[in-house]
Structure 1
Amino acid sequence: MIMVRIPAILLLNILGVGLFLSWFLPLNHGYWFAIDAGIFHFFNQQLAHSRPFVWFVAITNNRAFDLCSLLCMGLLMLSYWLRATPPGRRQILITGVVMLLCAVVLNQLGKVIPVERASPTLYFHNIYRVSELLDFPTKDSSRDSFPGDHGLMLLIFCGFMLRYFGKKACAVAVIIFLVFIVPRMMSGAHWFSDVFVGSLSLALIGLPWWLMTPFSDAIIRWFNQRLPGKYKLPPRH
């Protein structure tokens, strides 16, 4: 059980709110739009000059590639599960369940944000779209891309890895995050700020209350006491 670190939680919350407001308040999103547009047009121009790049972007934005991100997250947790004791293995599985529960809650919180934003491929005209360059199922657009739900899930994974598995696991999780979020920007399915403002601000606001208080530990313990199977924790009296 960890102690509640209110000053650190509030600082992260302030950073999250400040990050969001730096995008939300300025007219046309201020400097964020210049960053977003620059990144989108850089990658979009590459689609016109490199057929291998088109295929790379198409494949990495196929729905099957999303399963690869789940596989990578699962393999990282599996590496710790294999080295754990039987009670520890049960704890790791339950931690995964609680992480998914956290993702559902924060994703629903993201839907409350009064922003509806089309992806850059639907915003700009006279641009290249992977789906028009290839006859291949791929994601290159979104009618509501803010905040990036895929990016939020990967950031939540990073947070849980840091909290329950340490800095080394978190470093690997950050690599997984980058590998699987950058293709969304390459295809134009998401703006840079969908992830690095939308997803990140939500993570900074919501995750600390899960992971820097006894809240997630309490939920894990609750599941551990009530789910069937060997090695479950005895209820407290």
Structure 2
Amino acid sequence: MRYARAVLMILLPAAWRPAFARRLLGWDVHPTAYIGRSIIVAQRVTLGPGAIIGPWNLIRDLEELRLGAGAQIASRNRIAGLPPGTSVFRHSPNRDPSLVLDDHAEITVGHEIDCCDRVHLHRHAVIAGVRSQVLTHSLNLVRDRQETGPVVIGEHSAIMTGCIIASGTCVPARCIVSAGSVVNTKLTRELTFYRGNPAEPVRELPARLQFFRRGENTASSVGATGPGA
């Protein structure tokens, strides 16, 4: 039934989708939020003022999907969780299969986001470019079992094209992870440019970078609500 309603919603005119989501799905959707033609299946959904979910996303099996004010998920992203209680992750009983974007955080185009555990983008954080992977589960080779760990992207940080972010890692505030890098540990230094496999600090970044100074009213370049959305 949940999938049937999700499919029905993408067939509705864009102006009707927020009301449909509020009344029939029980979502908390601000009147100024926008929902494109995307499949969205989650237990709880909150879309803040000006939040945008663009077209052709597949978002499924989440406990919670939450977008703060001005947060955006652009298009052609595959975001998948796994409901609690499955035997696959019995060694991670406290996992939280959720995706949270704080105010003005963004996920751009064509990314793979594994939400078997929590993925959290803080204010103005961006998964930019295309074809990055965020993983929240992995095979523990020592214990021969599947385990999960949350992923956190700090505020005003940017993950560039084609990166891999492994389970249980974090990127500190005001950092840039270079294209093609692999983050497999918890990074610790703010205001830092990281690069490589594994990602390592290359140089400090000046706090005056305009990206680090994005204000609450900064217009986004995602463009998720174009024709056909």
State if a TM-score over 0.5 links the two structures. no
Q: More helix per residue: 1 or 2?
A: 1
Q: TM-score range by the shorter chain?
A: under 0.3
| Bigger CA radius of gyration | 1
Normalised by the size of structure 1, how large is the TM-score?
0.20
